[in-house]
Amino acid sequence: MVYFFVPTTEVVAPDSPSRGIMICGIGNMGWDAWLTIFVTLGVLIALAFERPADLVFMSAILVLSLAGVITPKLAFEGFVNSSLLMVAALFVVTAGLKETGVVDTIGEKVLGPARTETGGLTVLSLFTIVTSAFMNNTPIVAMLIPVVIGWCRKHSVAPSKLLIPLSFTTILGGACSRIGTSTNLVVAGLMKSSDNPELAEMGFFEIGYVGLPCAILGILYILTLGRKLLPERKELMEQFGDTRREYLVEMLVTPTCRLIGQTIEAAGLRGLPGLFLIEVDRRGSVIAPVSPDTVLESNDRLVFTGIVDTIIDLKKIPGLEPAAETSDPVAQRERRRRLCEAVVSRSSPLIGQTVRDAQFRSHYNAVIVAIHRNGQRVLTKIGDVELEAGDTLLLQTGANFVQAHRNNPDFYLVSNVEGSQPVRHERWWFAVAIFLGLLVTMFFAGGDTAMLGAFVAGGLMVLTRCMSAADARQSVEWPVLISIGASFGLGTALQETGAAEILAGKLVALTQPLGPYATLAAIYFVTMLLNELITNNGAAALAFPICIQAAELSGCNARPFVMAVALAASFAFASPVGYQTHMMVFGPGGYRFSDFVKVGVPLNLLLWVASVILIPMVWPLH
């Protein structure tokens, strides 16, 4: 790290409170530092106006690279950063857990008992606080995002109400132990490599003496004022309403279904968003309307009307299968395949024939699950429907149906239904074993070893057939990775030009005459500010030498200042770029830049005050 010193003719007494190294001021910054600051401000403004984060960050590092502020190697070095690569691998690992039904099971255990937004938020917060103290928060967020979205769909709660708290609480819990976040590991490594005798190795729960009270304060804030400030993105809830095509679909309760013996209400089949249970066909006897106290039995046929998204959720319940017209082994296998939509063309030989007479399954190797016609759902039994041109068919097909019939003149349009691939319940124990192995690796190792372990885990998910290679590729959220990788390049520019260090040093110099408490508060504030602009690890590494120097100049112990840096480098809540888990929930939650500012700034200030009060109590300044 480079320091800039300005010679001065002023004579300062050794014991003077103003004694210290003068770090060059803003007026001495070079053009490259000024340009970096302006580009950074431009990034923040663009994000505030809801421009795509990946495009904004890529534009920023391209401008700085073309201007010669940083080399192309430094600009794009973030894309091979171990943290970014780990996030990429974790997308695949999480997809494996989802494809085998593990994520849904976890969701039932964690969020299942909750029925309201407040209840879900409380249970989620307590779970993430505890788990993130013992494992890195990135895999926790990656695993729980689909769980939270599924719970929100089921209970008609906007995902934006829970995904920011998910990211926030994992950060709060991570500050309770040395391994909870990569930031703590970075600071612990810097302490160990320091020559300062006051900086012995960080204890496993040492930082938790302040981190745990801060986590409790953070949860109380999230459950009270923070919950009111959280946005409710109505546009995300449209998929739960009647804006999508509705189908009539029959689901068969197979003998292995776990819902047998449960009432309709206890099984969660009542009040599903975008889905309505019309009747139950039990051995030829129709139960309609269906009472919430109706107990499900084996071989019951449940007739639903609803949108595709919720039909997909039904299909993922083990033992609840789309009811084909036949019960032979071929049809049984077809029930475990994916869903596609196809529109009958005017030249199709299917026109005028009933589904039963058309022998659709033998001709197309697919089963018609439901039919939608002219904006209306078809209420007739599937086998008795006479097909017409323009009918939209919901089909149970093999993996290659779209490729085989994309140009078939029998259909106008053929497309896969996203997320409808069969859940591989029989492979769940492979997925759990792989994930536990990854957690052990991350517990005992960090950095490149943990990253390599994540890639091995992702590869094993494919090799053990927990998921297909195609699904593994599709599971990677490229906009998130581009945003994170490019943000590393912007942070490098701030560091290489000296802009971040000069601005931070100036603020510290101004507070030194006010006493050590003011300096401690300034160190925390500067680190927190850097954390919102660059990466958390970069902020910690940048602020570490400054806090050591500030402690020496103030005649104080270095340990409280170092702990302030560790906490401030983790507690970044006011910007989506402050922490990689924020970027992970940014897209799924439909958030805007201003949402993080609105919810995060009060939490930042609350924890700033709490930390500055608590740190000297745990680690005395003198």
- Name beta bridge partners: 395: 340, 368
Question: What's the start-to-end Cα distance of the chain, in Å?
Answer: 28
- Per-domain boundaries in the chain: 337-421
**Nearest CA among 258, 262, 273 for reference residue 104:** 258
Give the DSSP letter of residue 294.
P
Region 442-469: what's the mean pLDDT? Answer: 82
Q: Which pLDDT score is estimated for 563?
A: 93
Residue 590 has pLDDT above 50, yes or no: yes
CATH code for residues 337-421: 3.30.70.1450
Cis peptide bond upstream of 289, omega within 30: yes
Asked if pLDDT for residue 214 goes beyond 90, the answer is: yes
> Using an 8 Å Cβ cutoff, are 67 and 432 in contact?
no
Instruction: Give me the chain's average pLDDT, please.
Output: 78
User: What is residue 309's predicted lDDT score, i.e. its pLDDT?
Assistant: 67
The more confident residue out of 23 and 51 is 51
Report which of 584, 574, 573 is spatially closest to residue 483, judged by C-alpha positions.
Answer: 584
Tell me which H or E stretch contains 312: helix 308-315
User: Tens digit of pLDDT for each residue in 128-158?
Assistant: 888 888 776 777 787 788 788 878 877 778 8
- Specify which of 249-253, 515-519, 606-610 reaches the highest per-range mean pLDDT: 606-610
Query: DSSP alpha helices (H): ranges in 5-50?
Result: 31-48
pLDDT at 558 over 90: no
Could you read off the pLDDT of 356-381 as tens digits, one per residue?
788 887 788 888 877 887 756 566 66
For residue 161, give every residue at least 6 positions away whose Cβ sits within 8 Å of its Cβ, in sequence order, or none: 117, 121, 152, 227, 230, 231, 232
CA dihedral of residues 427, 106, 133, 160 (deg, nearest 10) = 120
What confidence tens digit (pLDDT) does each residue in 545-554 have? 778 777 877 7
CB 497 within 8 Å of CB 30: yes
Q: What is the predicted pLDDT for the residue at 31?
A: 83
Query: What is the per-residue pLDDT for 174?
Result: 87
For range 410-423, the mean pLDDT = 72
Q: At what angle do helices 516-533 and 536-554 cross, to 10 degrees?
A: 160
Residues 325 and 381: their CA atoms lie apart, in Å, by 10
Bridge partners (DSSP) of residue 338 are 397
Which pLDDT score is estimated for 617? 94
Structure tokens at 120: 């879900």
Judged on CB neighbours under 10 Å (0-12, 13-18, 19+), 213 is middle
Cβ-Cβ contacts under 8 Å for 541 (sequence gap 6 or more) = 1, 186, 190
Tens digits of residue pLDDT in 40-88? 788 777 766 767 778 888 898 899 999 988 888 888 887 887 767 877 8
Distance CA 455, CA 157 (A): 34
